[in-house]
Structure 1
């Protein structure tokens, strides 16, 4: 069940995309917005990379790398992200021996896309404005 944000918490999200992304309710609200733009794969990929980087076991790292690759990176992946050819090729080559930084370049590209393009539109969206203007009923 997603966490509900207070209007005050939601207002903090306007300070930076990082403040938005570090809050579970912010992630959920941003994902809902991205879904309306047909680009929710961006936050899904970004969050998958955040979890991936924390994996310590090499076996689990390799398994999760393959999952992320097949879900987001390979051509025609179900949630294929929009990254350049060189970044995609570098990731493909790293799949033989994935490291915790295998997806860093792609994650940075997607973060930049979300921060520059999607985030400003999110802050102007009805969904976000409804969250910050919501009144608590008595």
Structure 2
């Protein structure tokens, strides 16, 4: 599925990882890149954390915390993220009484990993360079 964005929009993503992550097409392009690098779980976890922090209902918060724990945090999780032992342990201990900040430390670690490691490689990738250099067919009408 081609990513719908203009070269101008795509160029803005190079200003910061935040500009990339807060743009739907940017997320899609970055996810596609991370999938090729076998680290798609990073953006999936980060986006899950963003949604998690907006949950107001304690019941929904608890259920989503357990879902995120089993998907990203626990050992051998299907999309296990790369975080240190202490962070993993702290989440494990708090999972029975989660708060909106339960995943904050892990999210910051993953954000930092993406910003320092994956994001610079994304900006040099063929897929990103194609997006910023493509001729915009929509503006020729």
TM-score, normalization by structure 1: 0.97
Please give the root-mean-square deviation of Cα atoms over the aligned residues, in Å. 1.2
Determine if contact 2:7/2:136 at 8 Å carries over to the other structure: no
2:39 matches 1:29:
no
How many angstroms does 1:65 deviate by?
0.1
Rounded Cα–Cα distance in structure 1 between residues aligned with 2:2 and 2:71: 23
- Aligned residue number for residue 67 of structure 2: 67
Superposition misfits of 4+ residues, deviation over 6 angstroms: none
How many angstroms does 1:88 deviate by?
0.1
Rounded Cα–Cα distance in structure 1 between residues aligned with 2:59 and 2:127: 41
How many angstroms does 1:96 deviate by?
1.2
Rounded Cα–Cα distance in structure 2 between residues aligned with 1:2 and 1:26: 12
- Aligned residue number for residue 54 of structure 2: 54
Secondary structure in 2 matching 1:135: coil
- Aligned residue number for residue 102 of structure 1: 102
How many angstroms does 1:136 deviate by?
2.3
TM-score, normalization by structure 2: 0.95
- Aligned residue number for residue 13 of structure 1: 13
- Aligned residue number for residue 123 of structure 1: 123
Q: Which runs of 5+ in 1 are unaligned?
A: none
Between Structure 1 and Structure 2, how many residues are aligned?
138
